[in-house]
A and B are shown apart, each in its own frame.
Chain A
Amino acid sequence: MALPAAGATAAVGLWWGTTVIFGIRSFFLPAPPDIIASFRAQPAYLLRETWATLTETLLGFGIGVAAGLAIAMMLTAWRAVERATFPLLVALNSIPKVAVAPLLVVWLGYGPKPKIVLVVLICFFPIVVSTVAGLTSTPADLGELARSLSASWWQGYFKVRLPWALPQVFVGLKLGVSLAVIGAVVAEISSPNQGLGAVIVLSGSSLDTPLAFAAIVLLALLSIVLFYLIVALERLLLPWARAISA
């Protein structure tokens, strides 16, 4: 805890020092106090936009998780489904999501809908891939144990395969939640009517760089908090997972 804090403090100090020593002007690279001042000038506005980005992220992530888990379970339940749809999924995933953002605006309008859809699109694939990896990595001896106990397909799936896959599922969730925040911001930048992405676009057009930095700092905080919430959830629910991977 002490070392990361020291590293972060040193980096901020270096940045602050550079702006002071070289007299860099605020619209080019704002010093940390400028950013804090910018936040304190309109905290209600910035928090409201943060809330907008957060709700888009969480709604999209929630749908992405549900869809990702369901698709992964279907893919691994029937081999034919996997062979028929997995290449298609890979092809779909290879499309840069940023490129779809303007299309989503055309199809779904300017409200929160295209943003949520983009979040779903960007975060569900890693969840599918990780969950499939987890569900297909059941150790042979556990499979044989289930068979020797005459376990039904359902028992084998829900008592052995699915719990075994959970650490892998969490790998997907951790990747997915970081991507979800990125997805929300990309969507907001392409139709800037709400959220921190919109704040960044508007501050750019008025050369209010400290405001852009304030929005970026809030985004980073959002991302970090969501990521560590998932890490905490994993430690709480799967205390055995780290022993398995070690």
Chain B
Amino acid sequence: MIELAGVSRTFRTRSGDIEALRGIDLTVAEGEFLAVIGRSGCGKSTLLRLLAGLLPPTDGTVLVGGTAVTRPRRDVALMFQRPALLPWRSVLANVLLPVEMHGGRRAPHRERACQLLDAVGLAGFHKRLPHELSGGMQQRVALCRALIQQPKVLLMDEPFSALDALTREELAGQLQQVHMDVKPTTVFVTHSIQEAVLLADRVAVLSERPGRVRHVLTVDIPRPRSFGRNAHLADVATCVAELTDLLHDTDAPTPMHIT
């Protein structure tokens, strides 16, 4: 579904060029959930913007569904770190925004929007304005907005990083459920190892800037997974430990390791 071949991206700034990504080769199969993990500033968000068509690559090719990405596409939905809801629109009208922007009529999609909101526990909040909702609820509205057009590809840029720990776990659980139900091809950028292991089929670990794919780890744990006590605790721990090692292992080893 997604193919990246030799993708590089360099930003020109007044204080010189910044190479964000270098020679990225990655493929994501249809319906697969890929987590991209790496330290701050390693180009994770840039990678997502390349896939979303918001940014052209400096070098290499980005293919989604077999065609080169040159601009944002309707079958690719993007979810940000912040909910980015329009504060003057009700929850329901926010969810229906993509339909409107793409020139469709809202009425036929209303029922689906309501179903999506109900599925993430927002039944009874359809007419509220965003500021009346908690941060976690707002991010759930953003998730419904991303899903309203039934995208083939779902791109998520640290969507839970602005939330408190418990809400994060709750939302990650809901996202897992959504992915099991509708199976969109998902690229999920995060810096939380736990989230990556809970959600992903594979985890791509990026090196520090310029970002390269250091390793791709397959998470072979049956779904539904959970954070709590369960039958696969040992597998989860192994994956977490492996990813932790990969993230802490720098290209030029320093004498002291902080763990």
A residues contacting B by CB (< 8 A) are 139, 141-142, 144-151, 155, 159-160, 163, 166, 238-240, 243-244
Contacts and interface: CB of A to CB of B under 8 A. Distances in A.
Contacts of B245: none
Contacts of B54: 144, 147-148
A148 B88 contact: no
B131 A141 contact: no
Interface of B: 52, 54, 71-74, 77-78, 80-82, 84, 86-88, 97-98, 100-102, 129-131
B111 to A, nearest CB: 21
Contact of B101 (A139, A151, A239): A151
17 contacts: A144-B84, A145-B78, A145-B80, A147-B72, A148-B72, A148-B77, A149-B72, A149-B101, A150-B101, A155-B101, A159-B86, A159-B97, A159-B100, A159-B101, A239-B129, A240-B129, A244-B131
Contacts of B101: 146, 149-151, 155, 159
Closest 10 CB pairs of A and B: A243-B131, A141-B84, A149-B101, A148-B78, A240-B87, A145-B84, A151-B101, A150-B72, A148-B72, A163-B88
Given A149-B98, A150-B74, 4 more contacts: A139-B84, A144-B84, A145-B78, A149-B102
B97 A149 contact: yes
A95 B86 CA distance: 39
Main SS class of interface, A:
helix
Residue from B72, B100, B102 having most chain A Cβ neighbours under 10 A: B72
Contact of A150 (B81, B86, B88, B102): B102
A166 B89 CA distance: 14
Contacts of A243: 87, 129, 131
Contacts of A240: 87-88, 129-131
Contacts, number: 55
A244 B72 CA distance: 29
Nearest to A239: B129
Contacts of A148: 52, 54, 72, 77-78
A144 B88 contact: no
Contacts of B71: 150
A176 B243 CA distance: 60
Main secondary structure, interface of B, reads loop
A142 B142 CA distance: 12
Nearest to A166: B88
B72 A142 contact: no
A160 B101 CA distance: 11
Contacts of B130: 240
Nearest to A146: B101
Given A148-B78, A150-B74, A142 B102 contact: no
Contacts of A155: 101
A210 B77 CA distance: 70
A143 to B, nearest CB: 9
Contact of B86 (A144, A147, A160): A160
Contacts of B74: 150
Contacts of A159: 86, 97, 100-101
A238 to B, nearest CB: 7
Contacts of B88: 163, 166, 238, 240
Nearest to B82: A141
B10 to A, nearest CB: 20
A234 B60 CA distance: 51
A26 B4 CA distance: 88
A205 B82 CA distance: 65
A144 B48 CA distance: 13
Central interface residue in A142, A150, A239, A243, by most chain B CB within 10 Å: A150
Nearest to B129: A240
A230 to B, nearest CB: 18
Nearest to A150: B72
Contacts of B73: 150
A154 to B, nearest CB: 11
Contacts of A244: 87, 131
Contacts of A139: 84
Nearest to B130: A240
Nearest to B81: A141
B86 A142 contact: yes
A155 B86 CA distance: 13
A150 to B, nearest CB: 5
Contacts of A141: 80-82, 84
B77 to A, nearest CB: 8
A153 to B, nearest CB: 12
B6 to A, nearest CB: 25
Contacts of B82: 141
